[in-house]
Amino acid sequence: MTKKRVALITGAGRGIGRGIALELSKNGFALAGCDILYAPRERKTGLFEVKAAVEKLGGEFLPLRGDIASLGDHEIILRAVLRKFGRLDVLVNNAGVAPEVRRDILETTPESYDRVLSVNARGAFFLTQKAAKEMIALVKKDPAAKPAIIFISSISAAVSSTARAEYCISKAALSMAAKVYADRLAEFGISVYEVRPGIIRTDMTEPVREKYDKLLAEGLVPQRRWGFPEDVGKVVAALAAGAFLYSTGLVLEVSGGMDIRRL
């Protein structure tokens, strides 16, 4: 069993997941990261680029293939983490997808709805269920352990976008999942948090970059800039490290002030 605390990050191969991995590594965590894309020969992007970046920082990163929408993959992922490290201290539910096509809510298709909800909400819910049981066992064996589960939702959990209703609904569901797990797991000393990123510069937002460049310049975000994966990563690292142990259920928005109500 490693002496380091161990974190599992879903959707770790790029974007926010990558930023979280680097910040957790800087804070001394041993890491496992899963992604639906798993290409050992690809070293410029993806899990194995992240592995190299973490190792350059002196850390350890276990890349794992896994589709969070496939419940059968959950047991495989967790067993691999426990086999490698002997424990799981932190789960970061980061994996998520956007609609393949943005459609007005009156044109949303059942296929798109099911796809987005299966990853963003259903998958994260059931992976957390399995991970929580491992964390309960860890606490019983090591009362000094302070496990944490962190849900990466979105400002879309509370802000309407009528051209991607299924995404907003999935993030609202994820937000409630964080609350009910925080409630249920508090007795075991397992902290659960929700982090809500705002407009973050990633591959997912690249198709709407020009739109948001204009909106940012016009003041949509009080801090008038894009957020970056490392902005989210720093918040996750603080939560994972135990900086907010008496705040289970906490919702932290990383949005440059978009939660400020303004005239």
Catalytically active residues, by annotation = 167
Q: From CA 177, how far away is CA 194, in angstroms rounded? A: 9
Q: From CA 49, how far away is CA 52, in angstroms rounded? A: 5
- Using DSSP, state whether 196 is helix, strand or coil: strand
DSSP letters of 121-187? IIIHHHHHHHHHHHHHHHHHH-TT---EEEEE--GGGTS--TTSHHHHHHHHHHHHHHHHHHHHHGG
Is the separation of the CB atoms in 102 and 78 below 8 Å?
no
Q: From CA 195, how far away is CA 55, in angstroms rounded? A: 26
Q: Which amino acid is at 24?
A: L
Q: What Rg do the C-alpha atoms of the chain give, in angstroms?
A: 18
Is the separation of the CB atoms in 6 and 29 below 8 Å?
yes
The dihedral sign for the CA sequence 72, 78, 82, 87: negative
Is the separation of the CB atoms in 9 and 20 below 8 Å?
yes
Which string of b and e fits 38-59 if b means at least 16 CB within 10 Å? eeeeeeeebbbbbbeebeeeeb
